[in-house]
Every structure is written in C-alpha cells, then in structure tokens.
Structure 1
Amino acid sequence: MSECNGIILNTFNALEGKTIKALQEGSCFPDESNPAPIFCIGPVMSLPGGEKDENGCLSWLESQPSQSVVLLSFGSLGRFSKTQLTHIAIGLEKSEQRFLWVVKVLSHDSVGGFVTHCGWNSVLEAIGEGFPMVAWPLYAEQHLNKIALVKEMKIALALKETENGIVSATELGDRVKELMDSEKGREIRETVLKMKESSVEARSEGGSSYVDLNRLTLLWKEKDHLSLLSPNTPLLSNFYG
C-alpha cells in the first residue's frame, strides 16, 4: 500500500484524528521514506428515501415521540441462534423502551438509540444522524470498531457476552435502558451530537474532507484518470449531495 498513489478512507479528521495522524506521518510504514498520501473524504453515506412501508414500520415510527425508539440492525449478514433471538426479545421487553428491529429506518426523527453490529457504514450513518449506540460486533473488523466507538470516541455502550457467546436478556435490557434513560446515556448522546456537527463541517466547503476530496481530484487529473471529464465538471458540488 505504501507504493500506491494514495489511500482513500471513508472517515474524517474529527472522528479518527489519532489514527489519521499516524497514517499521515508514516507510522504504519516505518521503512518507507515517502508513504502514500492519505485522503479522508468521509463520511460518505447512502441517502435515505424510497423505502416501502409494507409492514407499517414507518407509520408506527411517525406516531412515536422524538428520540424515543431504539433501533436494532445487524447488517445483511447478521445471523443469530434461536437461543440468542429469544434473549434479544426478552431483553428488549426488559428494557421497557420502545423498539424497532428492522434494517433501514435509521434517519427517522423518532429513533433515539441504535443497537448495531458496528459495521462501518452503519456507524457513519448513526454519527451522521447523531444517534448514540449499543455496540454488538459480530464478525470481521467490527470488534475493532467497537473498541474505537466505546473506548476512544465514547459514543457507544458495550455489550458483554457470556462464556457461551450469548448476550443475555438481562444484559441487553440493562444496556438499552442505560443508553436511553441514564446520565451516562445522555453524555454519550451529547458527544455523538457534537460528532454529527463535526461530520457536517468536514464535508462543507473548507472542511477537512472537502479539502482532501479536492486534493484527490487534483491528483486524478494529474494522473490523467479523469480524461473523460471536462475541466469544468463540478465534482465537489455534487459529491456530498
């Protein structure tokens, strides 16, 4: 990777400043005098809209108070045993909170908390909406993401598993209730709302991600990778919607 023309990352300075600095300074490439430049252009997220309300989920959300619903989503590959599903159901009931267990309703105003598998796209969407999280990693890099969310960024609570790898109903219920109805939960919410503001600033003109995207555009032009585009193509104005 050190021999690349550049490395593009879907993140932004305010979110992962320590890691980005280490990459920029070449700490990850100690044997290279000129490490590849880093371009942090995030958060890049899919835009909401066009969902069908076949099961009435969106209609139900519309009837709920602002930031009162806990959303559970574990990605397209998230799978649980029958035992774990039972614990999830009982735990949600124990939390005494409104909840919705679906895939795509994250941007709704009534959502106030997010139980997530810590996939990076889901994390960026939660930050973009200012939602505090309960971190439940399942596979791949999600366990590392959980550590960053809980320990470094302080925008999520961690779930503890039993020796059998099960998150108990009591554990899930307690963490969801803590997220939605405790002083620590309010502190996490305040932190993630500040991070939301930082994500908007990063993508605005003059922000860190805007500047990096401009640098990347210039690099591509220098390498003649944009030969099919006219010199006046408004790349930056369209990229962030």
Structure 2
Amino acid sequence: MTQFSANLGFLWTELPLPMAIAAAKAAGFAAVECHWPYDTPAEETARALRESGLRMLGINTVRGKPGENGLSALPGCEAEARAAIDQALGYATAIGAGMVHVMAGCADGDEAHAVFVTNLAYAAQRAAECGITILIEPLNRHDAPGYFLKTTDQACAIIHEVGAPNVKLMFDCYHVGRTEGDITTRFKALQPLIGHVQFASVPDRGPPDSGELNFGTIFAAIADTGWVAPLGAEYRPIGPTSESLGWMARWRQV
C-alpha cells in the first residue's frame, strides 16, 4: 500500500501548524512535512506530532532575503547559510524530523558550485551527528528562474562530489516533469541517491488526479521498486484542502 505525506507548506495553509498536523491525521495521511515551520515554537510542533502520532519527515532551510530562494550556493553568504543550516537542524532535532532540505538559492557558475559543495559538506557533518539526512532539490526554471540546482543530473553530480552518505536527492515529480520528463525511468535510475519523493500535477501544480501525468502509473512504478516511505503531496489545492483529496483513497491501494 502506498503511503502519503501531507506537505503543510501547501495543504491546510489557513490553519496554524499544530492544527494542520491534526487535519492531516484526520484525513488519513501517514506523515507530514513542511517548508518553514520556524514561526511555530518547536515544542508546540512536537506536541502536535505526539498527539497525532504522525512524524514530520522534513523541513527546509530558510530562503533568505526576497529573491534569494535559499543561501547555500550564494558566494559571500557562507555565514548566513551555515546559520540557516544550524537553525534547521536544531528545529528538526527538537521535533524528531529526519530530513532537512538545504536550499541552494539563485546563483550560477563555478564559484556558486564550490560554495554549495562546501556548505553541503558542513551540513552533512552536522546532520550526521543528529542522525538527519540532508536533501537537495532541483527546481524547474518556470517556478524558480535562476535557481542554482536545475536538473537531477546536476544534483546527483554534486551528491557524488560531496561524498557523504547522508546527502540525498529530493525527487519531486512535479519539478522533474516540468524540466526533464521521463519520470519513472529517471526515478528507477536514480533511486539509490533518492531520499524523498514529492508530487503534484504538471503543469499547474494541482492535485495529482489532474494534469498531464498519470500518477496511478507513476505511483505503481515507484512501489514496484520496493519504495515504502511516504510520498510527499506538495500540491496547491483548488479550494479547501479537504475537497482535493479524492485521489488519495484510490491510490493508497497501489
């Protein structure tokens, strides 16, 4: 049976984070994840997770100033990037989250590459002390123009360069679908490097039962590889989140 995680960066955004966690539990999600939970004290988030019985799979490092979209590939921002990594690891540890997505930011070129690799090595070392996995995620050029990580090939080359076993790829079917396509073949080829999977329809980033991708086929192909971790529902609902969940009962049986 395929399990799903509710990304509370997009789902139930009208609710405070503890209430959104409870809503995800009531809707039948097996886990939750979010983007930037830092406005909610960690003890409140941890309490909501305990009460729901759900685990927070992962969180993001902060985006920095408007237009930066992350800090870890920005030359000259090394101190801020490492502070953001420390902040995320501290919050993740306090709530029992197992993954931190280190956001690269808008940058390009060899210097940005070198800065990102160095910051990821720092993140990997710090995360290993906490038993946490570091994720990096390519973002498509339509939603995130100028973002440093653009393709899965680029991300995987960086993972190999860093050489730390706890640095993994966030495989987002939406971003891969908009940038590269061939999702099931690419997933199977990259599976040893994948730490988490997310999804939304292409091209509108809506619920997975709309758009041009057949997620019944995609979820079945992922399950056939032996993948058992919850898949992250990171889509923008049309209207109330609770009215966008018709897909879940059907595809939990995959």
- TM-score of the aligned structures, taking structure 2 as reference length: 0.28
